[in-house]
Structure 1
Amino acid sequence: MTHRAEVPSAVVIGLEVGVAQIRAVAMAPDGSLVHSGRRPTRADRGPDAVLETVLEYAADLARHHAPSAAGIAVPGLVGEATGTSVFAAHLGWREIPVRRWLAEELDVPVAFGHDVRTGGLAEARLGAGRSCRSFLYVPVGTGIAASMVLDGYAPGGDGELGHVVVRPGGDPCPCGGSGCLETIASAAAIARRYRLATGEARVTARDVQARAAAGDGTAAAIWQEAVEGLAEVLTAAVGDSAPERIVIGGPLSLAGRTYLDPLRKALSERLTSPDPPRVVASALGRRAAALGAALLAQDLRPPRHPAGAEAAGHHSA
């Protein structure tokens, strides 16, 4: 079912540029989805090719949905005021004026944000954070980051948790360091470490989780080290902020209780607060950041008024 015939000028599109996939949504004013899709990022082709794919995908969406605005979420270090991808290691991007180029491609207003903040925004408005005042949103995928959300707003200061050193002298990290959390607790690291330990190719983090649950000792050790490392860093991240919840996003959240229960246990052993945050899975899954980008695009649109309202003096501020 599509809303294009009913609200062609009110639809917005949102894109998230991930390391493996570019995810996109087209959203109607009531928050319902007109479209949801994805395309391979193929970051191995180089930064220019990735950007070209993003612009082509956005243009295709615009041809089908005639959006009034667009939003885009990107990883790494961003300049939100300038709409710039300052540095995205896994994409090879440095100082890319993403918002300007996307606005030129689509000829509509474009909102720009960090993928973790936009994901947190979406969880606050549409997902696992709707009923609480404060939560820490932590997507665990190729990288690991966090965003504190307060009263439905992600004010910034996102933590690149994946680059906190937890195993000094450990495996090299794309950031240039070694022993970072990302090298043991990200989905990619879990799969890589199991492949190196067993010599088996084409194993995913979900495969490692299933094998750990089935009694594979190597898988269980790698899985547990990942959980313990994340719990160690989250304990410091929670600190004095005392969020009501920790919302775990990304592909590992799909592992359910086999991931969340050990994480809850590891956190409870470290946190001294009498009322520790509740650990829950994302309600929006891998689409959270794309949905958040669409919500940012909706925020760009001026309020709709009944016909003749402007003539009567009812102007928006």
Structure 2
Amino acid sequence: MSTPAPPSPVRGSVLAFDVGGTDMKAALQDGSGNFHSLLRMPTPRDPARPGDAVVKEVAALSQRYAREYPEASVQALGLVVPGLVDEHTGTGLFSANLGWRNYPFAQRLREETGLPVAFGHDVGLAGEAEMRLGAGQGLRDAVVLIIGTGIAGAVFCDGRRVLGGGYAGEIGHAAVPSGTLCACGAHGCLETVGSAGAIVRRYTERTGRAAAGAKEVLGAARNGDADAAAVWADAVEALADGICHLAAVLCTEAVILGGGLSQAGDHLTGPLRRAVDSRLSFHRRPGIRVSVLGQDAGLRGAALHARGLTESPL
């Protein structure tokens, strides 16, 4: 009697795409939750048709995965994007950094790929993944704060993510005293001082020297560069202002830091905890945690969302 062949490890797969303000990530996730052929590339841009540029790239990558894994039987596709979104209609309402308005991502991708499409906010679904699989496990009231090109948060109250019609969690566009003109058109936004992108921009403006990233600015600060230290300190102070607003309004148990800037570790969390503690009086002091899922949180969230459309959730 012949022994049946073991099931392919990539059967029951979904595709996951995480579009960021700078980079885009893609992967195929198998039925056991493992990622295969994780790719990272610059986010495609076309000023005249910004949404179409993303859809074209996602469709091309979907075809590539189908060629590389013909046995995968991909069941659904998950896409997360930044900015304001309507997850129920699958629409990207607005992205200050990437330029689209009211773009029907889910509809266009269904047309291009023939797959069921789960669409959502990059930070919101990264937050759901972090709460389910990462540093937020066991918490009911938390904010997952992603600090990268911009700043946005996923707000969880009593175990549920607050959607607010797609507008909740945009703490990066709350005003802080040191804020400057923002790409959104407002003046004074937190992300003009506290984001990784702002740290690089403000250091370059202050010194005339280009920096490759916020990590380089932090390294310069640690090596005695007074300008870098001032820019870093300003970012920490602005982030502390934002976190204190969250603590006052939401009484959150923890703020979980994700995105590129969270990789600074104790160089960020140490001074940030002290700055937050010095500002709060009677409020519950939120714990400051660092994401466990790291740079994969958005992809994990996209994959979880896609699995919600299938019969094989993890």
TM-score, normalised via structure 1 length: 0.88
Q: How far apart, in 2, do the equivalents of 1:9 and 1:108 lie?
A: 15
| Aligned residue number for residue 107 of structure 2 | 100
Task: Go from structure 1 to structure 2 and tell me whether the alpha carbon gap of 1:192 and 1:36 turns closer, same or farther (over 3 Å shift).
Answer: same
Instruction: Give 2:57's aligned amino acid.
Output: T
Q: For this pair of structures, how many residues does the alignment match?
A: 300
* Residue identity matched to 2:31: P
Read off the aligned partner of 2:65 and give its amino acid letter.
L
The answer as to 2:90 corresponding to 1:80 is no
Report the Cα distance in structure 1 between the residues aligned to 2:171 and 2:283, rounded to whole angstroms: 24
Q: Match for 1:56 among 57, 60, 63? A: 60
**What is the 5 A alignment of 1:106-125?**
106-125=113-132
Structure 1, gaps ≥5 residues long: 305-317
| Deviation of the 1:9 alpha carbon | 4.2
Which residue pairs with 1:270 in the alignment?
A: 279
Distance 1:259 1:8, change over 3 A: closer
The aligned residue for residue 164 of structure 1 is 174
3-state secondary structure, aligned to 2:151 = coil
Q: State the distance in 2 between where 1:193 and 1:104 align.
A: 42
CA distance in 1, matches of 2:66, 2:276: 44
Q: Which residue matches 1:181?
A: 190
* Structure-2 residue corresponding to 1:145: 152
Q: Which amino acid aligns with 1:57?
A: L
Alignment-derived partner of residue 3 in structure 2? none
**Which of 38, 41, 65 is the matching residue for 1:39?**
41
Letter in 2 for 1:116: V
Equivalent in 258, 263, 275 of residue 267 of structure 2: 258
Report the AA paired with residue 52 of structure 1: K
**2:62 aligns to what SS in structure 1?**
helix
Structure 1 CA distance for aligned equivalents of residues 233 and 172 of structure 2:
17
Matched, 1:135 2:142: yes
Q: RMSD between aligned alpha carbons?
A: 2.1
Q: Are the structure 2 counterparts of residues 44 and 265 from structure 1 closer, same or farther at C-alpha, using a change threshold of 3 Å?
A: farther
* Residues 270-309 of structure 1 mapped to structure 2, 5 A cutoff: 270-273=279-282, 275-302=284-311
- Residue in structure 2 matched with residue 310 of structure 1 by the alignment: none
Partner of 1:138: helix, strand, or coil?
strand
Question: Distance in 2 between the 1:13 and 1:242 partners?
Answer: 36
Identical-pair percentage? 41
Aligned to 1:311: none
Scaled by the length of structure 2, the TM-score of the pair is 0.88
Note the C-alpha offset of 1:200.
0.8
Is the counterpart of residue 228 in structure 1 residue 237 in structure 2?
yes
Q: Distance in 2 between matches of 1:273 and 1:60?
A: 55
Question: More deviation in 235-244 or 94-103?
Answer: 235-244
Identify if the C-alpha distance between structure 1 residues 223 and 202 changes in structure 2 by more than 3 Å, giving closer, same or farther. closer
1:71 maps onto 2:65 in alignment: no
Cross-structure match for 1:216: 225
Distance 2:157 2:47 in 1: 38
Structure 2: 5+ residue stretches without partners = 1-5
